[in-house]
Structure 1
Amino acid sequence: MTQHGNLRSDSLPSTVREFLAAHIARDAGTALSFLAEDAVIVDQSESFRGREQIRAFLSDAGSEFQYTTEQIGAARVDDDHWVVTLRLEGTFPGGVADLGYRFSLRDDVISELVIANHGS
């Protein structure tokens, strides 16, 4: 397995960059457009499948808190797998969280996204 770490944002596939931009802007409709029809999102061990579950997750995730998001890392695992580390700082318990967004791509769309505490 080849892993190239500390990539700049512009080195990420456009699908990943554009999904993250929409997700951070809380634009669930646009974020959803970068996902395969059969995509799955796993957030802290809870799975979301199907367009309606994923749309609800994208619309609601973290909506009860105020926070900022900063990309602090990115790595290419192989042609179809990428990891982006985001630091969230805000009004949620603990105030700071580093989250790994592990993307699996298929045919230029996201087939799976696993979000976990960095290092998990």
Structure 2
Amino acid sequence: MHDNQPRTSSPDILPEVITRYLAAHRAHDIATAITAFTREATVIDDGNTYEGTQAIGKWLGRSATEFTYTIHLTGAQQTDATRYTATHHLEGDFPGGSIDLRYQFTLRDGLIERLVIEP
């Protein structure tokens, strides 16, 4: 296997900071979720960009109340030393009713520096 090849694995491949963020996000615990990000982190979701923990906190608050849904981690992949992808299946009262989303994390200094969420 080459070092630049993605490694698909079970969810336990994910670093603690990512699992802490995902658990807090599922529980709508914004205060805990925000501690997983660097101060100047960027989140890109649904075509919108949120920069910095204040903007990310507002995004987390809105995403927690906009729709009701269940979220299940269906896979995890490590791309390189700082990049991970967590694939989730969501079902709920949002348009379409169900979707698979890739949460693509980039870490820096043990925290999430960038998160891109897309189908």
- Interval containing the TM-score (normalised by the shorter chain): over 0.9
TM superposition shift of 1:9: 1.9
Query: 2:45 aligned with 1:32, yes or no?
Result: no
TM-score by length of structure 2 reads 0.93
Aligned with 2:6 (options 3, 12, 32): 3
The aligned runs of 1:38-77 (5 Å cut-off) are: 38-77=40-79
> Aligned residues, how many?
116
CA RMSD in angstroms comes to: 1.0
Q: Which amino acid in structure 2 is aligned with residue 3 of structure 1?
A: P
For residues 85 and 62 of structure 1, the distance between their equivalents in structure 2, rounded to whole angstroms, comes to 19
Q: What residue ranges of structure 2 are gaps of 5+ in the alignment?
A: none
Aligned to 2:108: 106
Cα deviation 1:61-97 (Å, max 9, x = unaligned)? 1522211110111100011000000110011111101
Identity rate of aligned residues, in percent?
36
Unaligned runs of 5+ in 1: none
Q: How far has the Cα of 1:2 moved from its partner?
A: 2.0
Instruction: Give 2:18's aligned residue.
Output: 16
1-structure distance, mates of 2:33, 2:68: 20
Instruction: Find runs of 4+ consecutive structure 1 residues off by over 3 angstroms.
Output: none
Which among 80, 83, 97 is matched to residue 82 of structure 2? 80
- Please tell me whether the aligned partners of residues 106 and 114 of structure 2 are also in contact (alpha carbons under 8 angstroms): yes
Deviation at 1:10, TM superposition (A): 1.9
